[in-house]
C-alpha cells in the first residue's frame, strides 16, 4: 500500500474509533481492548467498555532524508525497527523487548543503551495524535496549543488519552555494533567508568555509542560499551538458538553483532528471566521452536501463573518458602548507585540486575509527571526476580522497602510494575498538581482511570 493509501486508511479507522468512543454511554469507564501487554502489576477484572484499537498498528511513513517516522500507536518496536532498518535508520531509543508498542513506550517510559545520549523514548517525539478522555482528537507538538499534553503524556499510562499516531526522530545506523564487556570488581569503579564513558562518549580511545551493564554481585559487575562499525565477522553468534547473551558477557571481552541482533539481544531470554521456564538448559533449548524463544511468550506464561498460582501451590506443598515477586525498574543518581546496590544485596538478594545509564536529552525540557534532574546522570536498575519470604513476612515487604530506598536516594521508579505508595507520597512524586490540571483539560468527566487508581490500586 502507498503512503497515501495508508494515511487514508488511518483516517477512516480514526473516525470509526471516535464514533465508537462517542457511543459508549456517558459516565461509563473506558479502557483499551488489548490482547497483549508488557505491564507486570496485577490488574483487577472490570466491566469497563473496551475500545478496539487493533487497526492502529503499522508504519505510515519513514522519511529517510528527514530522519523521522510516522507510526501508529499500537505498532510494536519489532515492526517499527523492521520498517526503518532498510532505510539505514532506527528509533533513537529502542526498548529491549520486541512487543513493546510505540504508544506504550511514550506513555509508560522507554529506555535502552542509547539513553545516556538520547534520553527516554518520549524525548524523540515531535508529534503526538491522541484520542483524549473526553473523546476529542488532539495533535500535540513541542510548541502549540496542546504542548501541555505532549509534556504530560509520558508516565500517564493511558489515563489522559491514547496515542493513535506518533511521529518520532530516527538516527543513522551502521551494519554492526562492536561491544566491549569490561569487568569491575566493585560497583564504585563501575559507576566511575560509566560516568566517564557517558560524559566523554568515549573510553580508552574508542567511541561509545551504546552503554549498559549487568551487576552479577558485589565483586562481579560488567560495563558493556558499544560502537557503530561497518566491519563484522563472516559469522556472528546466534543468541536465540546457540547461546544466551547475558552469559556471554561473563565469558567474552569483545563481541560484534549485526544491528538487529544487537537491538534484540535481550529479548530471546527476557534478559535472564527465561531461567524459570527451563529454556536456558541446552538439552531443552535445542528442542524449543525458535518462535517460542521470545519475551511475549514468557510474559503470557507468567500471567497464567499469576492468575492460577500452580507453581506457587506446588512449592508450598513441598515445604518451600513463599516468594514475593520483585519486578521493578528504578532510576538512581550515578553517585548513589554503589549505596543502592550494597543495600539491595543485603536486603533484597536478587542478582543479576540490569544497569543502564540515562540522562535528559534536552535539559530545558520539563516532563511534569516524571521529573528528573536534567544535570544528573542516572542509572536505571532493572530488578526482575523473586525473593523468599520469612514466616509471617508480608507479601509486599521487599517492594515497599525498595520504594523507600529509591526515594531516600533521590531516585525515581517506573510505574509499569506493582506500586505501594500512599496517595500523598505518590502525587508529591509524580506531578500531582500538573496531573490534576491535565485531567481537567483532557478528561474532565473521568472517563479514564486516574493515575493512582491505575498504577497503585490496580483498578
CA dist., res. 149 & res. 162, Å (int): 11
Select from 3.30.465.10, 3.90.170.10, 3.20.20.70, 3.40.190.10 the CATH code of 3-173: 3.30.465.10
CA dist., res. 76 & res. 376, Å (int): 30
**Structure confidence by residue, pLDDT tens digits, 308-366:** 887 778 777 887 888 999 999 999 999 999 999 999 999 999 999 999 999 999 988 99
Dihedral, CA atoms, 176, 354, 326, 266, nearest 10 degrees?
A: 10
Q: Which residue's C-alpha cell is 514475593?
A: 324
From first CA to last CA, the distance across the chain in angstroms is 40
CA dist., res. 384 & res. 327, Å (int): 4
Domain ranges of the chain: 3-173
What predicted TM-score, i.e. pTM, was given to this entire model?
0.93
**Structure confidence by residue, pLDDT tens digits, 146-178:** 999 999 999 999 999 999 999 999 999 999 999
Model confidence band, residue 42 (pLDDT cutoffs 50, 70, 90): low
| Residue 34: predicted pLDDT | 58
Alpha helices in 322-376 (DSSP H): 337-347
Q: Report which secondary-structure segment, H or E, holds 50.
A: strand 49-52
Eight-state DSSP code of residue 223:
E
**Structure confidence by residue, pLDDT tens digits, 251-284:** 999 999 999 999 999 999 999 999 989 999 999 9
| Residue 306: predicted pLDDT | 77
- Three-class SS of residue 293? coil
Q: Which residues contact 61 (CB under 8 A, 6 or more apart)?
A: 3, 6, 7, 69, 70
CA dist., res. 257 & res. 231, Å (int): 10
Q: What is the mean pLDDT of residues 355-379?
A: 94
- Residue 51, pLDDT > 90, answer no
**Structure confidence by residue, pLDDT tens digits, 118-150:** 999 999 999 999 999 999 999 999 998 999 999
Amino acid at each position: 500500500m502507498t503512503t497515501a493509501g495508508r494515511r487514508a486508511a488511518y483516517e477512516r479507522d480514526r473516525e470509526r474509533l471516535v464514533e465508537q468512543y462517542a457511543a459508549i454511554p456517558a459516565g461509563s469507564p473506558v479502557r483499551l481492548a488489548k490482547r497483549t501487554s508488557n505491564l507486570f502489576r496485577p490488574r483487577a477484572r472490570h466491566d469497563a467498555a473496551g475500545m478496539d484499537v487493533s487497526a492502529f498498528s503499522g508504519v505510515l511513513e519513514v522519511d529517510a532524508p528527514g530522519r523521522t517516522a510516522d507510526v501508529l500507536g499500537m505498532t510494536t518496536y519489532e515492526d517499527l525497527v523492521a520498517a526503518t532498518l532498510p532505510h539505514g535508520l532506527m528509533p533513537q531509543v529502542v526498548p529491549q523487548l520486541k512487543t513493546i508498542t510505540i504508544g506504550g513506550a511514550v506513555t509508560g517510559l522507554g529506555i535502552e543503551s542509547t539513553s545516556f545520549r538520547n534520553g527516554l523514548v518520549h524525548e524523540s517525539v515531535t508529534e503526538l495524535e491522541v484520542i483524549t478522555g473526553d473523546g476529542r482528537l488532539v495533535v500535540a507538538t513541542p510548541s502549540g496549543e496542546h504542548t501541555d499534553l505532549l509534556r504530560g503524556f509520558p508516565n500517564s499510562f493511558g489515563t489522559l488519552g491514547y496515542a493513535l499516531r506518533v511521529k518520532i526522530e530516527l538516527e543513522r545506523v551502521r551494519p554492526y555494533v562492536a561491544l566491549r564487556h569490561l569487568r569491575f570488581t566493585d560497583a564504585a569503579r563501575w559507576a566511575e567508568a560509566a560516568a566517564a564513558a557517558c560524559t566523554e562518549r568515549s573510553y580508552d580511545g574508542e567511541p561509545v555509542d551504546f552503554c549498559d551493564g549487568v551487576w552479577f554481585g558485589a565483586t562481579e559487575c560488567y560495563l558493556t560499551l558499544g560502537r557503530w562499525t561497518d566491519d563484522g565477522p563472516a559469522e556472528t553468534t546466534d543468541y536465540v538458538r546457540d547461546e544466551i547473551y547475558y552469559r556471554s558477557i561473563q565469558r567474552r571481552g569483545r563481541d560484534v553483532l549485526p544491528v538487529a541482533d544487537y537491538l534484540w539481544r535481550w529479548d530471546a531470554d527476557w534478559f535472564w528471566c527465561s531461567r524459570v521456564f527451563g529454556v536456558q538448559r541446552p538439552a531443552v533449548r535445542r528442542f524449543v521452536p525458535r518462535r517460542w524463544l521470545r519475551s511475549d511468550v514468557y510474559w503470557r506464561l507468567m500471567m497464567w501463573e499469576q492468575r492460577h498460582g500452580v507453581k506457587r501451590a506446588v512449592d508450598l506443598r513441598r515445604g518451600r518458602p513463599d516468594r514475593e515477586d520483585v519486578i521493578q525498574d528504578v532510576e538512581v543518581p550515578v553517585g548513589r548507585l554503589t549505596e543502592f546496590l550494597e543495600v539491595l544485596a543485603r536486603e533484597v538478594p536478587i542478582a543479576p540486575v540490569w544497569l543502564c545509564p540515562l540522562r535528559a536529552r534536552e535539559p530545558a525540557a520539563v516532563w511534569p509527571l516524571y521529573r528528573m534532574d536534567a544535570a544528573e546522570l542516572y542509572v536505571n536498575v532493572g530488578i526482575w526476580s523473586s525473593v523468599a519470604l520469612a514466616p509471617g513476612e508480608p507479601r509486599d515487604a521487599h517492594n515497599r522497602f525498595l520504594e523507600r530506598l529509591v526515594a531516600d536516594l533521590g531516585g525515581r521508579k517506573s510505574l509499569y510494575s506493582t506500586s505501594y505508595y500512599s496517595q500523598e507520597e505518590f502525587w508529591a512524586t509524580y506531578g500531582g498538581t500538573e496531573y490534576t490540571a491535565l485531567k481537567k483539560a483532557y478528561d474532565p468527566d473521568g472517563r479514564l482511570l486516574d493515575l493512582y487508581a491505575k498504577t497503585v490500586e490496580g483498578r
